[in-house]
Amino acid sequence: MRQFQHYIDGAFCDGPAVFPSVDPSNGEPWALMPEAREADVDRAVMAAHRALHAGPWATMTATQRGKLLYRLADLVMQNARALAELETRDTGKIIRETSAQIAYVADYYRYYAGLADKIEGAHLPIDKPDMEVWLRREPVGVVAMIVPWNSQLFLSAVKLGPALAAGCTVVLKASEDGPAPLLEFARLVQEAGFPPGVVNILTGFGASCGSILARHPKVAHVAFTGGPEAARHIVRGSAENLATTSLELGGKSPFIVFADADLESAANAQVAGIFAAAGQSCTAGSRLVVDRRVKEEFLAMLKAKAEAIRIGNPADMATEVGPLATARQIAHVGALIGRAVAAGARVVCGGTALDRPGFYHAPTILDCDGVSSPSMVEEFFGPVLSAVSFETEAEALQIANDTAFGLASGVFTSNLSRAHRMIRGIHAGVVWVNTYRAVSPIAPFGGMGLSGQGREGGLAAALDYTRTKTVWLRTSDDPIPDPFVMR
């Protein structure tokens, strides 16, 4: 089997142990991954700390940092096919999506490459005539980044790009599930010319690697994507080092369809929003909130589209839905469907795992008996759509906001005034109107409530990786007056 290594302090190295990585398309181990433990984590963090304060990175101009990021983006595109194939092999994400997503990854690095020398300070019109005061934005410090298995190259780019543009150094923990693409990506970091210690990439398990990384005393900021329960551990751990945090967590996003919507367009968007990536997306439009007048028509359209989806080998460009990433995801999805059906949900289509090698689950639609159904409350992270109907606009808004999450949402209507009312009323960090699942490095992304805090994308993300230093310069040549009086 192929064997991967950590990347620490500019060199590739083994861990004290290895563990197998499983190909989700057949359920068979295909590679060995290094398992980082406390000593490896400490070595990586200390390398990042040294690089932050000494050596070439510490004295580089912002423009020089940007040129390295441009080089990294070019290398990503030059190695796009190999990276896409590796991500598909290790995570089960279909090749047509990993191939397309590589371009987004490069776009994020290019955006932050251009932004690196545009992170500005400020001059303050201070109220004291003999003082000049200005603000400097400096890197926050060593950043711990922890990403999940569902889109590791993309979810690391939205963190790594702005952090490096701001001048931070990084220890990036790839998920223990499907870490191959990020461990391979480390070769591009090395080839791009980033000095040793600036970017360190390792993998391991939560208790013996992730939690130790998050609470390391030299870590100043933790950027985490994952579930709320893991995030609570991160936040508790940050009490040890007082690190700041940015948390991009789960979602239970409402997909609202009014009777005046273009139903064919809405149905296509709903398919993209819940069945693309086999539903393994934090922004999955997993709660369909549909006008009662068109509910049956819309469900029939969705059923026909769901049953026509080509399910198969994720390495085949014709495949539209591949496997889930892990066996435990199959078990979780099956258990939650069972609880929803027991609570009164009707299976419109799908509902079961597929009887074939690998971790495949049929695209599923549940017609739920009210908003309290377990499938309307809990995150599946799988290809399962839960549907309820509404009578009025006010009821649609109430159902949309009846969740502890607040990441994304979709509104489909031809009424512009209604669209604006829904935009104002929905409690979510992202509102898509008559579209779904659109992203850009220019647009901030993030949630509220149990969906987290902080933003990724745009200038806001880069500023999150800086801290402000206030500089006072006295311009008078006169002696300082009374030293016992604050000026």
CA distance 454 to 240: 21
411 and 432 in contact (C-beta within 8 Å)?
yes
Active site residue 307: no
Quote the DSSP letter at residue 392: S
The whole-angstrom separation of Cα 131 and Cα 387 is 63
Nearby residues of 21 by Cβ (< 8 Å), 6 or more positions away: 29, 30, 31, 32, 33, 90, 177, 178, 179, 180
User: What residue has token string 């808004």?
Assistant: 397
- Residue by residue, DSSP assigns 422-487 as HHHH--SS--EES--S---TTS-B--SGGGEES-BSHHHHHHHTEEEEEEEEE---SPP--TTS--
User: Residues 6 or more apart from 311 whose CB is under 8 A from it?
Assistant: 319, 320, 321, 322, 354, 360, 362, 363
Distances in Å between the Cα of 373 and the Cα atoms of 111, 336, 342, 403, 456 are 42, 10, 9, 12, 32
Catalytic-role residue among 248, 320, 379, 456: 248
Burial of residue 205 (CB within 10 Å: 0-12, 13-18, 19+) is middle
Q: Is 75 helix (H, G, I), strand (E, B) or coil?
A: helix
Q: Which amino acid is at 162?
A: P
Task: Provide the CA 404 distance to its chain's centre, in angstroms.
Answer: 19
Count of residues making up the chain: 487
HSE-CB for 212 with a 13 A CA cutoff: 19
Q: Which residues are catalytic, by number? A: 248
